[in-house]
Chain A
Amino acid sequence: MGQVAMVMDLNKCIGCQTCTTACKSLWTDEPGQEYMLWNNVETKPGPGYPRYWEEGGGGYDANGDLNRDGLMTTKEDHGEEIPLNHDEVYFKGVEVQLQQERPMVKGSNWDEDTSSGDYPNNYHFYLPRMCNHCTKPSCLEACPVRAIYKREVDGVVLIDQDKCQGIRECNKACPYDKIYFNYVTGKSQKCIFCFPRLEEGVAPACARQCPGRLRFVGFLEDENGPIHELVYQWKVALPLHPEYGTEPNVFYVPPMLPPTFDDSGEFSDEPRVPTEYLRSLFGQEVDEALITLQFEMERKQEGKESRLMDILIAKEWKSLFNIPNVKIY
């Protein structure tokens, strides 16, 4: 009947992890969930979270056949939250240095601000990621017990916690590695697009709590909403790795970084992020999207109107959320 979707404007994302934290404290604060970040933010280019997820397989091949042989991620691939020796150092006086009880191997944001290329023409940006609530969810198709379903009312993809047997085929099949195994309950879990909130007209926690004001929420089909405009009319919001074939419903406005310098130290026309890299993330459409964004921004610089820029500016915070009965308080 409808597909709820999200557009994230990467030109406004500051990598603050407020979205990550918002999700964490609402949904994954229970035993067995310590390592889970249904929403994470990673520095790109970079191995991301779980590390090297883009190399893990899953999704559909060019013929539309399900790829069941994706990698099964482990807790360690994600990195985890490790307690500190507060008591020993601060109150018992038996240890000297305050530190994690055991060293962290790698974590979900290990490569924060690890830039690519050479200074001063280096580049990196932040990529917030969550389950894409795909139109063709490979996780769903892979589940042998049909525990995964896509709600008709809003297209949210959910794992029925009563039905899930912990077989973890979904884990292998999701090319975005957005399925997590709860080691305490023995079930697979994932982002639920905050459906209980959505039902009450409240945007998902990651979006509503994002201080960057960059996560648009609404129905893809709603022609009056910003999502439809950004995805279909302006074509500046693109799915991540469309080649995985799952047809994601989370879209990204690609990043435009400041100009690079040429050998003499003057500004150069060479884009800071190699376009080839952006194409590898968002497909060929990214070229067109960047041109549109640049063109519209220049209109504003010339003092002209731009509907696109106005949408992205989102003067009114509430305008980001075009969901029925939207409630802000």
Chain B
Amino acid sequence: MYKSAKTTRRKFLLGSASAIGLSLNYSKPAIANLSDTKPYRSWEDLARKKWTWDSITHSTHGTNCTGQCAFNVYVKNGVVWREEQQGEYGASSDAPDYGPRGCQKGLRHSKYMYGKQRILYPLKRVGERGQGKWERISWDQAMLEVADKFLDYNIEFGPESVTCGLGTQMVMKRASYASLLRFANISGVQMPEAFAGVGDLFTGAQITFGHVTLGNTMAEIYKSKCCLIWFCNPAVTRIPDAHFFWEAKYNGTEVISISPDFNASAMHASKWLNPKPGSDIALAMAMVHTILKDRSFDTEYIKEQSDLPFLVRADNLKYLRETDFDTPEARDNLFYLWDEATNALVEAPGTGTPTAPPGTPEHLIKLPSIELAGIDPAIEGEWTVETKEGPVRVTTVFELTKRRAAQHTPEMAQEITGIHADIIRQVARKFASAKPSMIYAGYRASKYLHGDLLQRALFLLLCITGNTGKEGGGLTITNLAKDDAVFPFALSNPAAAFRVATLSRWDYVHADMKELNRDAFGEELAEEMDKYFQESVDRGWFPDYSKVPWKMGMFSGTNAAAWRSSGKRWRETAFSKLETIVSFATDMGITSMYSDYVLPIAHHYERHDFHLEPRTPYMQVIDKAVEPLGESVDDWTAYKRLAEAISKKAIERDIQPIDDNVIGVPIKRDFKKFLDDYTKNGSIKSVKDVIQFLLDNSSGIQSVSYDELAEKGFLRNKGSETTVHSKESPYYSDIWESVHEKRGYKTLTHRQQFYIDHEWFFEFDEVLPRHIDALVNEGYPMKMIMGHARHGIHSMWRDDSFLLSLQRGEPDIYVNPKDAEKKGVVDGDLIQIFNKTGSFICQAHLTSGVGQNMLYMYHGWDPMMFKNRQNFGAVVQTAGLIKPTSLAGGYGQLGWKPFAYEPNHTFHDYTCDFEKYQGV
């Protein structure tokens, strides 16, 4: 019937030009000609008609997935029909381009937005909390009732008794985020932050650099010559960007996936290393040891950029400081080097300069130059210096680091990690020689109790190889757009003083997490942790949250009760204290289910906003394709309605202004003026005005009106010619400037600082990074690893019927077949995972992609989808583990600083076990 393919192929191999010419004549007329000679197929027209639409809107999904993929949203017959990636972006600096970013969740949104989980009307609880019995009420009624309670608590307990939690649906939508901050600033409510709050804060970066937003665009991966994918699975969690890794591999980059489980990223890597869960510090330190021993380190870089040549007293192991000498007005932040050029002690350039007063905006902090200007610091050696206490032996941080690394030989690391010592050496050597080498890190690196040590080990590895601050080198975690427009907008009245609470500490106090520590880890650990917790308050290093009761919780774009470690326990403890819970949400979920009021929020294609995500060099619009469903409104409008109700009630009840004080700033809060404050006396009429303010005042973006941006969809940021975020871009470039312009770091030593001679760091032997085993529970052999899901973003889209059909229809957990066999479990069985503090039930998915004594589960599954509404959080008994050294203060870069230095909510230090579920 058809020509044999063989003939055809031979012909083409011979290059029959005429055949090719013909085949390419694939334009409209060719089709028309074809229909002349062939029977007309009317059904084909039906298919052609199906691919038509009434209008296209440019938008994206504001979920903090880090994608911000440009979409065309197609509207047909008044509803969103489907979406498709908008198109060609263009490339950065000789790397692959960004087309066509997107993922299956995004492509599913057109259907999900009409799903039955949508909250369409304001709801007031009529049954028990969590029962799902509601009364539909009007926005007016809801807001007035909420406002009344809000005022009651403010008057009786003060603004601190109310929290306003914001989550992943909020943080990246610039205007929504700014609106909520503005509301919070006017009201003075507490905002428990969700950076360290979800265990994502790189405290190790703050310790080392005094700066945590490290990261450039994703195209930078292509510029690296050796890329370690560590603590993450970008093939699953960074779907729009994963291609850069394999493209780099094709381009000659050694891409090494380091992960206990064989995941989709390991599959495509040049090499896969499988350290035992929680053993990564040993691996990193063994690599450091290898490089130091090989002497393949980057001496010049170390001398200039790090504290490794700084002198340390051998007697007390403290840095040698000016205060060690009999100098009038000696400074304790002046440090020393041993200059090999003159064989003499010299002051370390840039040290000893006065520190900026607290509260100085980041970008206004003046930093000294660290240029060595002729000094040639010794990195190795021992000398005697004459101090006010007499002669003292001194050595360098580098020497001490060598000693520390020697406690982590590859052989020792093999014992801990299970990775062969030769492989560790091989990878270390590749990493040292590749230039540039990078670590593409995931947030799993901050979810261990000792995540900071882990990160410090990684930074040390990057420093001795001279990689931090190079294009294609260094550690990539995230960057954040500067808040140079958001803060002026949000914090303009009544005064710039809003309250951010450290979430882990907030929970510790308000959800009784000391109790949990006791149950999970025993009295001794609970008391020890508590001692440091209290001491950090007593010494004024961290604020005290125990003075004011928690009365009212408002949750915006966050499913707070879904992801807390300790699971149901948090929900039960925290919520039992809350008299009023209000949720602003697009879709139902556990947090809304247990709320007293639920307010409907407009979904992604039903609102105006814009996005700045550091993964690409673009700014992306969120535009309204259709009117919001039901009575849902955007966040600006929701909070405006609440502001209006507060003013109205305050006037009605004649509530006088209350006195408040935020970190020393006295403020009068006049609730009658709430609406005027919020809308700037009516001058801000809608979210579009908020957006325009931000567009007009943000640095690093093109000057554009919202409507023009919406017309285009995305616009390239300034300073984005290379794959690195430059000074001109909307993102932070501090590390780059330190490395290339020799501008001091925001640390005590103004260097990448690896040596922390704080008293608490001595107590815990953390002055230099070292391996510490993750906590385990005796008698519970299974280590459960978790990560972001493939078929959902956090808890969003997890309950979409189609996406579930691409999974197992319910939450599942990966189990090694041999472990399963031992327990009489077969694929598809329900199993119960348990430890001392709780248990949950889900489906066993057998795969040898995980090793024995290892379980892997995607996080984010809403507890509503589990029996007893108890998800994996049940066994993640780490909510009370608050690392003492992360509470240290009074030392340079250490001390409470929201989004920079505060203890993470930890998620990985525990073990569990499982058995076949016997119930039905």
Contacts and interface: CB of A to CB of B under 8 A. Distances in A.
Contacts of B243: 12, 211-214
Given A18-B107, A97-B864, A84 B22 contact: no
Interface in B107-136: 107-108, 110-111, 115-117, 127, 131-134
B762 interface: no
Nearest to B26: A324
A52 to B, nearest CB: 15
Interface residues of A, number: 119
A140 to B, nearest CB: 8
Contacts of A1: 19, 22-23, 25
A124 B588 contact: no
B262 A119 contact: yes
Interface stretch (A25-33, A55-63, A166-174, A283-291): A25-33
A192 B801 CA distance: 25
Contact of A221 (B23, B85, B91): B23
B295 interface: no
A119 B848 contact: yes
B272 A258 contact: yes
Given A26-B51, A80-B805, A258 B270 contact: yes
B324 to A, nearest CB: 48
Contacts of B804: 81-82, 84, 100, 104
Contact of B97 (A93, A104, A120, A315): A315
Contacts of B262: 115, 119-120, 122
B51 A196 contact: yes
Interface stretch (A68-76, A152-160, A175-183, A274-282): A152-160
A152 B809 CA distance: 42
A119 to B, nearest CB: 5
Nearest to B242: A14
Interface string B20-40: 101111111011001000100
A82 B805 contact: yes
Given A21-B107, A90-B588, A258-B257, A329 B87 contact: yes
A222 interface: yes
A100 B420 CA distance: 46
Interface string A140-161: 1100000000111110001011
A209 B268 CA distance: 21
B786 to A, nearest CB: 15
B133 A98 contact: no
Contacts of A135: 2-3, 5, 8
B864 A160 contact: no
Interface string B787-811: 0001100000001011011111110
Interface in B231-285: 235-236, 239-240, 242-243, 246-247, 249-252, 254, 257, 262-264, 266-272, 274
Contact of A208 (B84, B269, B801): B84
Nearest to B827: A114
A211 B70 CA distance: 12
Nearest to A308: B250
Interface string B52-94: 0000000000000000010000000000001111111001001
A20 interface: yes
B268 A122 contact: no
Interface stretch (B166-174, B739-747, B865-873): B865-873
A113 interface: yes
B97 A316 contact: yes
Given A26-B82, A223-B12, A329-B87, A318 B31 contact: no
A42 to B, nearest CB: 11
B561 interface: no
Nearest to A121: B848
A317 B250 contact: no
Contact of A27 (B27, B42, B50): B50
Contacts of B880: none
Contacts of A328: 87-88, 99
A113 B2 contact: no
A17 B104 contact: yes
B19 A221 contact: yes
Nearest to B269: A258
A48 to B, nearest CB: 13
Contact of B31 (A87, A126, A153, A210): A153
B96 interface: yes
B865 A98 contact: yes
Contacts of A82: 801, 804-805, 809
A208 B100 contact: yes
A107 B100 contact: no
B422 interface: yes
Nearest to A41: B806
Contacts of B847: 113-115, 122
Contacts of A129: none
Contact of A258 (B48, B266, B420, B791): B266
B104 A160 contact: no
Contacts of B791: 17
Contacts of A247: 5
B116 to A, nearest CB: 4
Contacts of A317: 88, 96-97, 99-100
A61 to B, nearest CB: 16
B43 A195 contact: no
Nearest to B243: A213
Contact of B869 (A21, A96, A222): A96
A152 B34 contact: yes
B111 A25 contact: yes
Nearest to A267: B423
A120 B271 CA distance: 12
Interface string A270-314: 000000000000000000000000000100111100000100111
B423 A83 contact: no
Contacts of B257: 258
Contacts of A205: 84
A232 B124 CA distance: 66
B46 interface: yes
Contacts of B236: 14, 16
Interface stretch (B348-356, B519-527, B849-857, B906-914): B849-857
B12 A232 contact: yes
Contacts of B810: 99-100, 103-104
A16 B790 contact: yes
B499 interface: no
A252 interface: no
Nearest to A162: B43
Contacts of A141: 1
Contacts of A222: 20, 23-24
Given A110-B808, A258-B267, 10 more contacts: A12-B247, A81-B804, A84-B117, A86-B799, A114-B827, A115-B848, A258-B272, A261-B420, A314-B247, A323-B26
Interface of B: 1-3, 5, 8-9, 12-13, 15-16, 19-20, 22-28, 30-31, 34, 38, 41-44, 46-48, 50-51, 69, 82-88, 91, 94-97, 99-104, 107-108, 110-111, 115-117, 127, 131-134, 235-236, 239-240, 242-243, 246-247, 249-252, 254, 257, 262-264, 266-272, 274, 414, 418-420, 422-423, 588, 593, 790-791, 799, 801-802, 804-810, 814, 816, 827, 845-852, 862, 864-867, 869
Interface of A: 1-3, 11-12, 14-18, 20-22, 24-27, 29, 79-84, 86-87, 89-94, 96-100, 103-104, 107-110, 112-120, 122, 124-126, 135-136, 140-141, 150-154, 158, 160-162, 192, 194-199, 205, 208-214, 219-223, 228, 232, 247, 255, 257-259, 261, 264-267, 297, 300-303, 309, 312-318, 323-325, 328-329
21 contacts: A1-B19, A11-B250, A22-B107, A92-B132, A99-B810, A100-B810, A107-B809, A119-B848, A153-B34, A194-B51, A196-B44, A196-B50, A205-B84, A208-B84, A213-B243, A232-B12, A265-B418, A265-B419, A309-B251, A315-B91, A315-B95
Closest 9 CB pairs between A and B? A2-B23, A93-B132, A317-B99, A104-B809, A300-B252, A86-B116, A265-B420, A324-B26, A122-B848
